[in-house]
Amino acid sequence: MSVVLESPRGACVLGGIMNVISAIEGCVPIFHSGPGCTMQTAAGESNDEPISAVACPSTNMQERDVVFGAEKKLRTTIDGAIEIYDAENFFVLTGCTAGIIGEDVVSVCKDYQDRGYNVYPIETPGFAGDGLLGYEVGFRVLLDNIVEESSEKEKGLVNLFGIIPHRDPYWRGNFEELTRILKKLGLKVNTFFTEHQTLENVRRSSAAELNIIVNPYILKTASEIYEQRFNVPTLRFPGLPIGATDTTEFVRKVGEALNLDKKLVEAVIAEEEDYVYSYHAVKGNGLGWNRFAVVADPNLAVGATRFLANDYSQTPKVVIITEAMYRPEDKQRIIDRINDLEYATPPDIYFESDYFSIIEILEKYPEVSMLIGSSTEREYCSNNRIQCCALAFPLYDKMVVNKGIVGYKGSLSLVEELYNFL
């Protein structure tokens, strides 16, 4: 299914699994792989977690291991990890090397489980796909091994999913802003990845009243499992809610799904919108007018296009979705959401992951003066005097700590990011 790609975005399945596992406190990923996979996955996904890159245990398979197998090495590596890491949960990842020679990580992990250790196998090998598949695989591992049945629902508990750690460079701040808003509605929020949450939050996620998936397409299977196995329904919000218009819609949808007090919901909306517009009133529309392009993952592409068109009166010309997408209905959901603009004429929409082809598309729109993209598009922008606002993954020429670009407050940060000399 994978195609030849120029300037690929992100790492392999292992990178995506790491985005899930390494972002949960108290989990130790163990690489049963060649020597470079810990670094490649971390650099490829911009993963900066404490147990990522060379801080991960790794069997560092060598030629003799490829020939003779490395089960013994895997066992001594797991033993060492259990001995020195102050953690209780270990996940064994399968690199291409172990995957191709057919290492039986399941039996090895089973053996540890029989002896009372929480050592979980993840069989999907590196070559099985990209980091997005890895994110799905990571969630599946949690669902199959960690999430426990709950006898009753916990009132007001929701799971907030769909913002992918590291793949969304602003994931921490984005989770924080949406969590802040949901808390104002009186809710408790499981993200698994922020506020020092641990596997305990994962375990208890079955008691949630609702899964809120902020993403137009990811976690389809996981949401079905939550629904069928644990009776947790899903509210899918198809794209990052950025700015007052979409965030207010988001808040109302959550309110409806949980049957929250309408007065409370409207009061929160009024207060937050007032906050946002008090700043817009001071700053005005500082950007003037731009015809803009977006080159990004679907979550950001939908959110940024709608915000810039609906709330900031910029003119969308072209949106290029960079993630490989396979289900036609997912593509349609994205197209529908982008086309559903209040005043602006909808942009042209493309699905393309290959850098050269993306540039070929952009060249058809010489009128574009502003581009929302990743660090990869900087070259094209800088050499064509286009204002480049790098917000999308991969973002390797900018440091993001806790800034968010979603919700009410985040949309003001996004406005700050937009302005530059070009």
Positions in 17-46 near other proteins (CB under 8 A): 28, 31, 34-46
Burial of 274 (0-12, 13-18, 19+ CB in 10 A): exposed
**DSSP 8-state class, residue 241:** -
CB atoms within 10 A of CB 122: 26
Residue whose token pair is 């979409």:
246
**Rounded to an integer, what distance in angstroms lies between the CA atom of residue 387 and that of residue 391?**
13
Q: Which stretch binds other proteins (CB under 8 A): 82-90, 224-232, 294-302, 363-371?
A: 82-90
Q: What angle do CA 258, 158, 267 make, to 5 degrees?
A: 50
Of 259 and 383, CB closest to other proteins: 383
Of 8 and 347, CB closest to other proteins: 8
Strands 188-190 and 157-161: parallel
Does the footprint of other proteins cover residue 391 (CB under 8 A)?
no
Does the footprint of other proteins cover residue 7 (CB under 8 A)?
yes
Does the footprint of other proteins cover residue 10 (CB under 8 A)?
yes
Q: How far is the CB of 385 from other proteins (least distance, A)?
A: 11
Return the residue of 21, 23, 24, 56 that touches other proteins, per CB under 8 A: 56
Return the residue of 20, 32, 129, 320 that touches other proteins, per CB under 8 A: 129
Residues 322 to 361 in contact with other proteins, rule: CB under 8 A: 356
Which residues have CB under 8 Å from 210's CB, separation 6+?
Answer: 158, 159, 232, 233, 234, 235, 254, 257, 258
Q: How far is the CB of 414 from other proteins (least distance, A)?
A: 24
Of 76 and 285, CB closest to other proteins: 76
Return the residue of 20, 21, 24, 61 that touches other proteins, per CB under 8 A: 61
**Rounded to an integer, what distance in angstroms lies between the CA atom of residue 240 and that of residue 138?**
21
Q: How far is the CB of 68 from other proteins (least distance, A)?
A: 12
Return the residue of 97, 215, 234, 290 that touches other proteins, per CB under 8 A: 97
Q: How far is the CB of 379 from other proteins (least distance, A)?
A: 5
Residue whose token pair is 């050592």:
119
**Rounded to an integer, what distance in angstroms lies between the CA atom of residue 387 and that of residue 385?**
7
Count residues binding other proteins (CB under 8 A). 75
Q: How far is the CB of 238 from other proteins (least distance, A)?
A: 26
Does the footprint of other proteins cover residue 374 (CB under 8 A)?
no
Amino acid at 391: L
Residues facing residue 29 across a β-bridge: 91
Does the footprint of other proteins cover residue 116 (CB under 8 A)?
no
